[in-house]
Amino acid sequence: MTFLFYIFAALALVGGIGVVVNRNPVSAAFAMILSFLGLAALFIQLDAYLVGVLQILVYAGAIMVLFIFIIMLLDVQAEEKRRFPLFNILGAGGVAVAFGALLLVILKRSEVGTASIPPIEPLEGPGTSDVHRIGELLFSQYWFPIQVVGVLLLVATIGVVVLSKKELK
Amino acid sequence: MDWQIIIAASIKVVVFVFLVTLPLVAMSVWAERRVSAAIQDRVGPNRVGPAGLLQAVADGIKFLLKEDFTPNHVRKGYFWLAPALVMVPALMTSAVLPFGSSLFGEKMVIADLDVGPLFVFAVASLSVYGIVLAGWASNSKYPFLGGVRSTSQMISYEISLGLSVVPLIMIYGELNLSSIVLYQAQNGWALLPLWGDGLSLKGFLLFIPILISFVVFMTSMFAETNRLPFDLPECETELVAGYHTEYSSMKFALFFLGEYAAMIIGSGLAVTLFLGGWSLPFGWLTPESADAVVPWWHGLIHIGTFFAKVILLILFFIVIRWTLPRFRYDQLMRLGWVFFFEIALFNVVLTALLMWWLA
């Protein structure tokens, strides 16, 4: 099933390039959704069903809907006509080259493709699905970070409500 | 990967999605028209075929033969993409619904995932893009307003829809829809705990949160599928026809069919989670375990039971549509955010407390 990997990896990459290349913000947002879907499929191919499905549910299904909602309410025409200054193009190119070089150095040093990976033994029996295992880990080993993240999100939600109500003084 | 698995999966996709669900979509359009006619003391379509049963075929031919007109002012690529985006997610969600126990040793579910309900919600949440895109690409006022309304409506009700299922998942301790159905077959349906483990103090006490869940789930499902009383995105009196105002011919029909497909899959999910899926009541003909060999006629009865329940639920959807008037938009939003969200959240806590007390 390697060809599925290539299909979905290509989908994710094409989506990613589309986000950068497209002038129209709505097109760019849709390219981003395409990229998320490809990524989710890659997760699912690794048997990480929960991560893959959450990728679709949270990113493609919720966050991007809000993005598109906002973009559609803005004036798209202005963004389409904007020209890129030379400095931005040079800066972006510089960052891309630097990142590529960094990636190359890291890959050269790592043992990817050379080190032998021990075969993963499939788990059998009840309670071995990735949902069960992730849930157990989150509520035993990682209970404190989860609580912290929960409080952080709550604070953020309250903050947004307060900030959006401008007449509140 | 074996070719056998691929072939078996392909057969299940073709038979379940294309030979059963799609005709069911057409038949529910017919049922909608007949039931609405009966409610309004009319006759309804009764000319084509026996009792008008072939009306769906006539409608289909009519839609295909009509002029497929694309207005000049639309964004063409997106305009053409939108109807497909409504239809595809609705059909894709059918992949995880167990529509029968097993037939000739083959499990009657296309993909037996461990994240069943999450998969359904994830893919169903993508169907909003079709409507948003239709509204935006049409490039005119009313479709745009319809699209915006639909987005906010679907985002709002997705929350209560997801939260309403959490108590059930807590009770089952399982996210695999096949296992959920088997548990219900052996221990009483969620809404009918009258045999097995359901016939106990625990079963009866947990019935309270399940009932709340069911009400929230069904109502949110109405909102998610844009059905009356929540069909504000295509509210005729205010928005002409909402997001599909500019569409004609088969493109319009795809929006129409997508709504019905979403309704059928929604009914399927409700049946699977609350009404015991393919199982018969009182543990009749229930297999011992998930891998037990089931005689082929048991398998057929289970498939028939599933579709009988789905059809009953579709009729319920239709009757509601022709009984209740449309909500006002602010009422709809208040209902979603102020009532259902809180009720669903409270329900989760209530279930947790009950389970902790009973344990």
DSSP annotation of B326 reads P
Contact: B132, A33; criterion CB under 8 Å: no
Residue of chain B with shortest Cα separation from A58: B122
**pLDDT digit string, tens, across residues B309-345:** 999 999 988 888 888 888 888 888 888 888 888 899 9
Choose among B75, B234, B81: nearest CA to B145: B234
Find out whether B212 and B345 touch, Cβ atoms under 8 Å. no
**pLDDT digit string, tens, across residues B272-322:** 888 888 888 877 777 777 667 777 788 888 888 888 999 999 998 888 888
> What pLDDT, on a 0 to 100 scale, did the predictor assign at position A154?
94
Residue from B73, B92, B118, B183 whose CB has the most chain A CBs within 10 Å, to mutate: B118
For chain A, say whether B176 makes contact (Cβ under 8 Å).
yes
**pLDDT digit string, tens, across residues A46-68:** 888 888 888 888 888 888 888 88
What is the separation of C-alpha A162 from the centre of its chain, rounded to a whole number of angstroms?
28
Contact: A69, B175; criterion CB under 8 Å: no
> What pLDDT, on a 0 to 100 scale, did the predictor assign at position A167?
67
Choose among B177, B176, B194, B170: nearest CA to B352: B170
H-state helical runs in chain A: 2-21, 25-45, 49-54, 64-73, 76-81, 86-109, 130-139, 143-164
Cα dist. B196→B6, B183, B270, B281 in Å?
Answer: 37, 10, 21, 11
Residue from A46, A47, A53, A139 whose CB has the most chain B CBs within 10 Å, to mutate: A53
For chain B, say whether A61 makes contact (Cβ under 8 Å).
yes
Which residues, 6 or more positions from B18, have their beta carbon under 8 angstroms from its beta carbon? none
Find out whether B322 and B40 touch, Cβ atoms under 8 Å. yes
How far apart are alpha carbons A83 and B158 in whole angstroms? 39
The pLDDT of B186-212, averaged and rounded, is 79
How far apart are alpha carbons B94 and B105 in whole angstroms? 21
Could you tell me the two tokens for A85? 């200054």
As for the ipTM of the complex, it is 0.79
Diameter of chain B by CA atoms? Answer: 65
Whether the per-residue pLDDT at A151 is higher than 90: the answer is yes
> Coil, helix or strand for A168?
coil
Residue of chain A with shortest Cα separation from B118: A53
For chain B, say whether A50 makes contact (Cβ under 8 Å).
yes
Q: Give chain A's mean pLDDT.
A: 83
Q: Of A60, A129, A130, which is closest to B126 when you measure between CB atoms?
A: A60
For chain A, say whether B158 makes contact (Cβ under 8 Å).
yes
Find out whether A76 and A24 touch, Cβ atoms under 8 Å. yes
- Looking at mean pLDDT, say which of A5-19, B2-16, B187-201, B236-250 comes out highest: A5-19
Contact: B122, A61; criterion CB under 8 Å: yes
